[in-house]
Structure 1
Amino acid sequence: MNENIKDHDRIEKAFEITKIKQVGNISMKTNHYHDDYEIYYLLDGKRHYFIKDKVYDIKKGDLVFVEKNEIHKTFDAGAPYHQRILITFKKSYLNNILVEAKNYDLLSCFHGNANVLRLKTDEQKSIESLLSKMLYEDTHQVDSSSIFLKMMLTEFLILVERLLKNAPSYHIETTNLTHKRISEIITYINKNYGENLTLEFLSKRFFISTYYLSRTFKKVTGLNLNQYVNTIRIKAAEKLLFSTELNITNISEKVGYRSITHFGRAFKSITGVSPLKYKKILS
């Protein structure tokens, strides 16, 4: 079974909002990335949230913003249950509004350095009220629901942008030493994916046993080390296929593969198509 991680099999929806309560030690089996922007609001409980190369300790009243195609995963933080609201949407969903707001960055919450906004009690009430209206409208659809949901999402993003401007600087990144060490290793991988990044090399560089690194890396990211390295390399290859005229062999070498066959196999495993087909789709 393919354990990787780009959601190329998901049903394409321009906008989706869901509310879920889960009981027990629930963790996403793998981390993943997708073409949607994602907003995660924790109504109750505690979670760990891994985004790109950091782990955040999330609690009730926290808003999490995940840029499209950013690797992320939530996992258990020891709470008996948690309840969250999740919004995902494609940039195209707001195209007309983004054109109107050309001098205003409506998506600024995804572009800054803060992935998490810790809300005050009164701010939580405002956000939860708006989210409740969106959930109700989504589950009680009438002719005007589509445009009303779009208007409410726009209002939500403007409200969040204003809250972020005035937000104090909270230390939300994890204080767990194991998670911090894995974050350091992930940062290194993200910057040096073109190198020969083996388990043995990284364990020596960061003075960790191969067993400990392998076990804790999987726990935090949901992937083994080799799967994660492949994912970062393929993400980089996707960008190069989109933005350059480099041929597939050159791209394969540039992102760290010594074998074009291995590159092709990894690319298809993660994206669902071969590099050549991906390039044809883009053209």
Structure 2
Amino acid sequence: METNFYEVQKFDISREKKSQSSMPTRHYHNGYEVFYMVSGDICYFIEDKAYQVVGGSLLLIDINKIHKLVNSSGETFERITLVFKREFLEDLFPNNKTLDLLSTFTRDCHLLRFNGSEQNFIEKLFNKMVSEFTKQPPGYEFYLKTLMFELLIYIYRHQEAMPPAITEEISVVNKKIFEIVDYLNRYYDQRHSIRDIANRFYISPSYFCKTFRDSTGFTFTEYLNNVRIKEARALLINTVFKVAKIAENVGFDNMTHFGRVFKEITGLSPLKYRQTYKIESP
């Protein structure tokens, strides 16, 4: 099986919507990689393990680890890829052994999942990095290092708070869940119930609920709401649609419910979110 080596830059970050990987073969490189899934679902192989990566999930890939992304459904996904070398951050790290932030890449738990408010926080960090790296205003490299340090501390603390790791490899069972996740990402605007999904995919409702949470880190309702609110956030930012129209477009038939779920996930009301984004836009 072909495996390629790539020399990486000291720092590189990109955010793209894709339907296939730009690196279709197994590969490795001499930099640390942070892969964050904004939306969609793919399968990611690191060495001999396979991970199901859904929206709101983050993968940590250590130096020289062989990896490959597989998108068997062919559906569009959006991802943020950050690659960097240790030398980029050398002058920021404390000169002691009590806080090695890069140790997050060598732990057994490569896959991290974030809830709605955590996703909102971490995506803001990534968006600032992408903007700085793309536009390169005065002092951008210093600011990038500051943002990187904040990101790594956040990841480090998130790992520290996690319960003992359970296996994250894809099994025959959760490949069924992988199909369901793909279905929800495409038809999030329709009405769905646990029983309807269970019947459609020939799985018992109770078994579906347990397996879905084990595989994705979310309950069925949490995951569906996260997908819908992520789409709503994009519409609030990129269109002039009224909030009621956006709620309808992403699958909510009740404005009060939409507003409550939106605030639970983002910490802001839909209108406040739109206003805040416009204020923060460069």
Contact 1:30 1:73 in 2 (8 A): yes
Instruction: Give CA deviations for 1:129-156 in whole Å, capped at 9, x if unaligned.
Output: 1111111111121221000001100110
Which residue of 28, 35, 38 maps to 1:40?
A: 35
Instruction: Give CA deviations for 1:206-226 in whole Å, capped at 9, x if unaligned.
Output: xxxxxxxxxxxxxxxxxxxxx
2:58 is paired with a residue whose SS is: strand
Q: What is the TM-score with the length of structure 1 in the denominator?
A: 0.57
5 Å-filtered alignment, 1:85-124, equals: 85-100=80-95, 102-124=97-119
- Alpha-carbon distance change, 78 to 70 in structure 1, aligned in 2, over 3 angstroms: same
Q: Does 1:14 align with 2:13?
A: no
Match of 1:152 in 2: 147
- Alpha-carbon distance change, 170 to 121 in structure 1, aligned in 2, over 3 angstroms: farther
Instruction: Give CA deviations for 1:239-279 in whole Å, capped at 9, x if unaligned.
Output: xxxxxxxxxxxxxxxxxxxxxxxxxxxxxxxxxxxxxxxxx
Q: What is the TM-score with the length of structure 2 in the denominator?
A: 0.57
Relative contact order, CA 8 A, sep 6+: which one is greater?
Answer: 1
Which residue of 63, 68, 87 maps to 1:68?
A: 63
Instruction: Give CA deviations for 1:172-192 in whole Å, capped at 9, x if unaligned.
Output: 321138x9xxxxxxxxxxxxx
Contact 2:2 2:26 in 1 (8 A): no
5 Å-filtered alignment, 1:212-251, equals: none
Instruction: Give CA deviations for 1:14-34 in whole Å, capped at 9, x if unaligned.
Output: 0000011113x5584211011
Match of 1:5 in 2: 4
Question: Once the two structures are aligned, what percentage of the paired residues are identical?
Answer: 33
Instruction: Give CA deviations for 1:22-52 in whole Å, capped at 9, x if unaligned.
Output: 13x5584211011000000000100101001
Q: What is the CA-CA distance between 1:4 and the residue it aligns to? A: 3.6
CA RMSD of aligned residues (A): 2.4
- Alpha-carbon distance change, 27 to 171 in structure 1, aligned in 2, over 3 angstroms: farther
Match of 2:135 in 1: 140
Q: Which segments of 5 or more consecutive residues in structure 1 lack a partner in the other structure?
A: 180-283
Q: Which segments of 5 or more consecutive residues in structure 2 lack a partner in the other structure?
A: 176-282
